């Protein structure tokens, strides 16, 4: 009976050891999963940061293009005003010349 009891205690110890190994393995796996989760989270943060940088770069580029277009429009309007002033000066000169010719006759 004593031998049988010792065998049962030995089996119980083996089971406890197997259970402890299993728990250790579970802990290791949980730690690995947590690390993988953190790495995935960091990758997502990096992707979000990268997307934010790209968005900001695109926004700046679009603002620069808008500024260039506004400048081109302003230059065009200035040129139109110059041409209009030149045309009005020619019309006024022509009218003055015509009026002077009429007075001469």
Dump pLDDT digits (tens) for 55-92: 999 999 999 999 999 999 999 999 999 999 999 999 99
- The answer, yes or no, to whether residue 22 has pLDDT greater than 90, is yes
- Taking all residues of the chain, what is their mean pLDDT, rounded to a whole number? 95
CA distance 76 to 64: 18
Residue 44 Cα distances to 55, 56, 77, angstroms: 16, 18, 49
The per-residue pLDDT for 1 is 86
Residues 6+ apart with CB under 8 A from 69: none
Provide Rg for the chain, Cα atoms.
45
DSSP run (H or E) holding 25: helix 2-104
């Amino acid at each position: 009976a004593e031998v049988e009891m010792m065998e049962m205690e030995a089996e119980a110890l083996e089971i406890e050891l197997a259970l402890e190994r299993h728990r250790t393995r579970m802990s290791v796996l949980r730690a690995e999963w947590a690390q993988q989760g953190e790495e995935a989270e960091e990758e997502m943060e990096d992707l979000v940061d990268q997307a934010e940088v790209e968005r900001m770069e695109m926004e700046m580029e679009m603002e620069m293009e808008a500024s260039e277009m506004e400048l081109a429009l302003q230059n065009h309007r200035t040129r139109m005003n110059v041409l209009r002033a030149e045309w009005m000066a020619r019309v006024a000169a022509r009218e003055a010349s015509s009026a002077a010719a009429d007075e001469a006759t």
